């Protein structure tokens, strides 16, 4: 048996292998799902895979290694700076010449016209560090709401309801672990539901998404087109799938095949069995993350680990839930799998932090 000192020096290798498996699976499925749209739009069926590797995987590996080796508790010293960086990044998307639009969303910063970065993805991690450091020292409700509200307000101006939901849930989870009174959480939950209802009411496209969630059969060629095509893809896959590369819906029938909708292509090509295994992989990631959070040697590590595991697994189940019509569509990507360089790089960096914390926790395979 290893000594306690030796066990502290080793990170959770099972968690790392799980994440590596998810990333490799994601690249394989992205290669299939994105090939028609990549060839149609860029003359290269591997366009999205190449970009995912160069602008997501490579910086993600660097971020993972850095945060695995850099003592995580030192981030407390830079907590306020990270909060300021979070706000500045969210403001940059509204500056002409720097911010760029994608569809109806101002969520991107263009870097020299060569590639784009999505600040809201970076803010998930920088704001979490600030929140964990602040809650370790104090837990008053009003300052917590001011910090959270300022970040959420800027994200909703973009607008990005999916990221808003994830950061809100992440913050509430950390606040709960920090010992928040139950009544505070209850009132915050009710206020959140009221705010969500207001956001749906003032934006026609959100109201349309909610209507489609309740009645996906309505207007299948209009507001219900996306979810109906996703359900058709999932249903076509059956138990074992049509076979790798054999999706029919990816040929410009299913919107956002490389991003939000990649789970539907996975279900169509790989079938029910592989889709369930993918869901179980995220559930296992959640379980190992919770073990790390429980065994963290300090409050800061416990809060950060909690935030990371809630963020990643909740985002996964929101994406899968929206594709299976369990919940409304929010435009949320599937972690480690969907196309998105910023998302992959930041999520891998967060895993590096989680692995760093796990060095102080004995986690059996």
Q: What would the pLDDT profile of 179-216 be if each residue is shown by its tens digit?
A: 877 777 777 777 777 776 776 666 666 566 666 655 56
Rounded to whole angstroms, the Cα distance separating 84 from 107 reads 18
* Least confident span in 102-106, 113-117, 255-259, 286-290: 102-106
Q: How far is CA 193 from CA 164, 196, 201, 206, 282, in A?
A: 13, 5, 12, 14, 26
Is residue 181, in this structure, part of any structural domain at all?
yes
Is residue 354, in this structure, part of any structural domain at all?
yes
Q: What is the pLDDT of residues 9-61, one digit of tens each?
A: 689 999 999 999 999 999 999 999 999 999 999 999 999 999 999 999 999 99
Please determine, for residue 74, whether its predicted confidence score (pLDDT) is greater than 80: yes
Over range 332-361, report the average pLDDT. 95
Is residue 365, in this structure, part of any structural domain at all?
no
DSSP-H helix ranges across the chain: 4-9, 13-42, 47-52, 58-69, 79-92, 119-137, 141-156, 161-177, 182-202, 204-214, 225-237, 262-295, 299-323, 341-358
Is residue 363, in this structure, part of any structural domain at all?
no
Q: What is the pLDDT of residues 105-137, one digit of tens each?
A: 667 787 766 668 888 999 999 999 999 998 888
pTM of the model: 0.90
Nearest to 78, CA basis, from 122, 126, 27: 126
Is residue 364, in this structure, part of any structural domain at all?
no
Is residue 50, in this structure, part of any structural domain at all?
yes
User: Quick one: CA torsion of 127, 305, 339, 58, rounded to 10 degrees?
Assistant: 90
Structure tokens at 179: 């010992």
Q: How confident is the model at residue 2 (pLDDT cuts 50, 70, 90)?
A: very low
Is residue 252, in this structure, part of any structural domain at all?
yes
Task: Name the residue with tokens 């309740």.
Answer: 214
Range of the domain at 235: 4-358
Phi, psi for residue 43 in degrees, rounded to 5: 70, 20
Domains identified in the chain, total number: 1
Structure tokens at 92: 């940059």
Q: What is the pLDDT of residues 227-245, one digit of tens each?
A: 889 999 999 999 999 999 9
């Amino acid at each position: 048996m290893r000594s306690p000192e030796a066990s502290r020096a080793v990170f959770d290798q099972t968690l790392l292998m799980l994440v590596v498996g998810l990333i490799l699976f994601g690249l394989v499925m992205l290669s299939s799902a994105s090939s028609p749209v990549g060839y149609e739009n860029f003359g290269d069926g591997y366009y999205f895979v190449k970009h995912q590797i160069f602008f997501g995987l490579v910086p993600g590996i660097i971020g993972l290694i850095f945060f695995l080796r850099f003592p995580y508790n030192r981030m407390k010293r830079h907590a306020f700076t990270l909060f300021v960086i979070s706000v500045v990044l969210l403001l940059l998307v509204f500056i002409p010449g720097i911010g760029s639009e994608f569809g109806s969303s101002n969520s991107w910063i263009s870097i020299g016209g060569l590639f784009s970065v999505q600040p809201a993805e970076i803010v998930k991690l920088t704001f979490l560090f600030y929140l964990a450091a602040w809650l370790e020292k104090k837990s008053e409700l009003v300052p917590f709401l001011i910090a959270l509200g300022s970040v959420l307000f800027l994200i909703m101006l973009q607008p990005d309801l999916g990221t808003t939901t994830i950061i809100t849930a992440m913050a509430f989870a950390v606040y709960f672990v920090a010992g928040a009174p139950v009544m505070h959480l209850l009132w915050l939950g009710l206020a959140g539901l009221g705010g969500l209802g207001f956001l749906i009411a003032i934006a026609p496209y959100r109201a349309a998404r909610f209507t489609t969630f309740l009645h996906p059969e309505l207007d299948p060629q209009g507001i219900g087109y996306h979810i109906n095509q996703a359900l058709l893809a999932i249903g076509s896959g059956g138990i074992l799938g049509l076979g790798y590369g054999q999706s029919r819906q990816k040929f410009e029938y299913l919107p956002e095949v490389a991003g939000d909708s990649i789970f539907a292509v996975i279900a169509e090509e790989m079938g029910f069995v592989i889709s369930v295994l993918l869901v179980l992989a995220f559930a296992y990631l959640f379980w190992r993350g919770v073990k790390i959070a429980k065994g963290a040697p300090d409050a800061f590590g416990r809060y950060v680990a909690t935030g990371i595991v809630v963020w990643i697994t909740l985002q996964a189940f929101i994406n899968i839930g929206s594709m299976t019509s369990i919940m409304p569509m929010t435009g949320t990507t599937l972690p480690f799998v969907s196309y998105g360089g910023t998302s992959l790089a930041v999520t891998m960096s967060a895993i590096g932090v989680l692995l760093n914390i796990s060095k102080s926790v004995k986690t059996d395979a």
